[in-house]
Every structure is written in C-alpha cells, then in structure tokens.
Amino acid sequence: MVRVVTREEIERLLPGLDLVERMQDGFIAYSKGQVVVPPPGELLFSDPPGDVHIKYGCIDQDDVYVIKVASGFYRNPELGLASSQGLMLVFSRRTGQPRAILLDEGRLTDVRTAAAGALVARHFAPSTVDRIGIVGAGTQARLQLLHLLPETDACEALIWVRNNAAERGFREAFEHEDRVPTLHFTRDIREVAQRCELIVTTTPSETPLLRAADLRPGTHITAVGSDTPIKCELEPEILARADIVVVDSLAQSEHRGEVYQAVRAGAIDRRRVVKLGHVLVNHAAGRTDDGQTTVVDLTGVAVQDIQIAKAVIEALGSTA
C-alpha cells in the first residue's frame, strides 16, 4: 500500500534530520556521475506570475527514485496562501511501484534549498561573518537565515525588504526561534552589499538587484532566487569580478540562473565555472583566503529532492 504522508507528519520529522550532510553526500555523488538527473520540466505563467518545476532522478544503488513537482505563485500571500506548493512521489527503483506520496506543499523543496545554502556557507563563507545579508523576506529568506546561523558566528542580520508588511512578517517568523540574531531591515539594497560579508539572494526578480560596485572585497554571495531562464538577481559584472564562481549543476547553468545570465551578457567565460560537488571533493577549488570574492549559483538539482525524500521515508520507517 502506498503511504500518504501529510505536511504535518513531515514537519514533525524535519528537526531530527541532518539535511546539510545529506545535501553534501548528494552533490558529491552528482559530481562523480553517480546520479541520473534528466533536465527539469518547467511551466512559466505570467497572469498570475508563477512557475512550476518538475525534477526527478535517482542515485546509483538506491532503492528508490523520486519525482518532485514544486511551484511558486508569488501573489499567493495576497490570497492567504503560501507561495510555494507541491509534492514528492517516491517509487521503488526495483519494481516501479509507488512507495510514498509526500504531500509537503512545497515545504521539502524550501528546506532542501536552505540546507544547500548552509552547506555552501560552510565551504565558502569568510572565516569571520559578523553580519548576514538576506535579499528578500519570504519563506526562503527566513529559512536561509535559520540554516545559516549554525554555520557562522554572526550576531546580526540585515534584511532587504520592499515594504513594512514584509518586514513585519519576517519579524513574526522569528518570534519563537531559539537563536535569533539582531534583525535589521533596509529598503536600500546597497546597504546590504556594503555591510555584509555573507549575502543570500532569495527573490524572483527578473532584473539585477545587487551591483558589483557596491560589494565589499571578500564577500560571499549565494544566489538562490534565479532558477528560470528569465530571473536574475546579480549584475553580471559581479560574476566577472568574482575570484570563484560555482554552480550546483553545469548542465542547468546553460539554461538558467546567474551564470546563464552572465555568460549570455558576455561577462564571463563558462570555462571559469566550477561544479559545487567538485569543490566538496577537492577543497583546493574553493575559497582559500578571506580576501576572495565568491559566488555560488544554486538553481536547484533533483539530487537534493532525492536526498530529502529519502531522509523522510527512512525516518518514517524508524518511527513506524
């Protein structure tokens, strides 16, 4: 019988899962060619604005394969709904039989993305991070900050928001968290660039938000929001000036993300780009001193969905 798992059940399991290590193992397997990950499917909508991603695949020797459907409809909060929606389907790799339907409402996609952001910070953030910069104030922005706190000693966070409602929602989301940095908010994105050593961008912007001229030397940027061919949060010159540019997927970076936009603009040569899994295996390819400016472009890879879905069904087995 197929097990149907609700979001409530998933939420109870998530705190006990070491997802950063799971993401690391997944990216390493991906870089070694041990993962089957076809190109993602995609639907883009303009009225209302939204996008749907279909990602799927399996890891060699695993017992399961995973198909994920996740969407972002950015006016949903006006309707009292979360912008992220979706589910994950887990099948037996031996027989093709369905094993579990994870009705996560997009939660697992959000969390696996944040866990990847924490993994990136572990390997690319400067040794001292006093202030984390977050561009955006939605669900992913909050999750990124929560997952970054254990990876840094930062005691402050500076969040770029567009309006008072976004600021209020961000503050409320942190009211019951155990560890909360001092939260500051700004409408001036240049302030984030000039005052933060570690910056994460989380918006669906289609025009650059951060500018190269505003960044301080030695900054690390994790770019999360640009996961379609039309999104772009970083001025291409940022990548041109960066000492190290990394992607989660070389194949996906040919069609989407900040690297795609920078190559298209003629700002960088694709041969400069390094795959994240390669850095995890060969640390010499990563940051070597605090003076380097680094950019990691995360467009989201199916191996992340595989890893988090496996973690959930394994935890379900241990609690059965």
Q: What is the dihedral of CA 114, 248, 27, 179, to 10 degrees?
A: -20
Of the chain, the percentage scoring pLDDT greater than 70 comes to 98
Confidence of residue 22 (pLDDT cuts 50, 70, 90): very high
In the residue annotation, 310 being an active-site residue is answered as no
How far apart, in whole angstroms, are the C-alpha atoms of residue 3 and residue 10? 13
Confidence of residue 318 (pLDDT cuts 50, 70, 90): low
pLDDT in tens, 29-39: 999 999 999 99
pLDDT in tens, 158-184: 999 999 988 999 999 888 877 788 999
Nearest to 226 by CA among 258, 264, 263, 274: 258
CB 199 within 8 A of CB 219: yes
Asked whether the predicted pLDDT for residue 201 surpasses 60, the reply is yes
Q: Which helix (H) or strand (E) holds 198?
A: strand 198-201
Active-site residue, selected from the candidate residues 55, 68, 275, 310: 68
pLDDT in tens, 50-102: 999 999 999 999 999 999 999 989 899 889 888 889 999 999 999 999 999 99
Domains and CATH numbers, the chain: 3-108+303-319 (3.30.1780.10), 113-301 (3.40.50.720)
How far apart, in whole angstroms, are the C-alpha atoms of residue 258 and residue 297? 6
For residue 299, count other CB atoms closer than 10 A to its CB.
25
Question: How is residue 234 annotated by DSSP?
Answer: B
Looking at residue 21, its pLDDT comes to 96
Give the chain's radius of gyration (CA, Å). 19
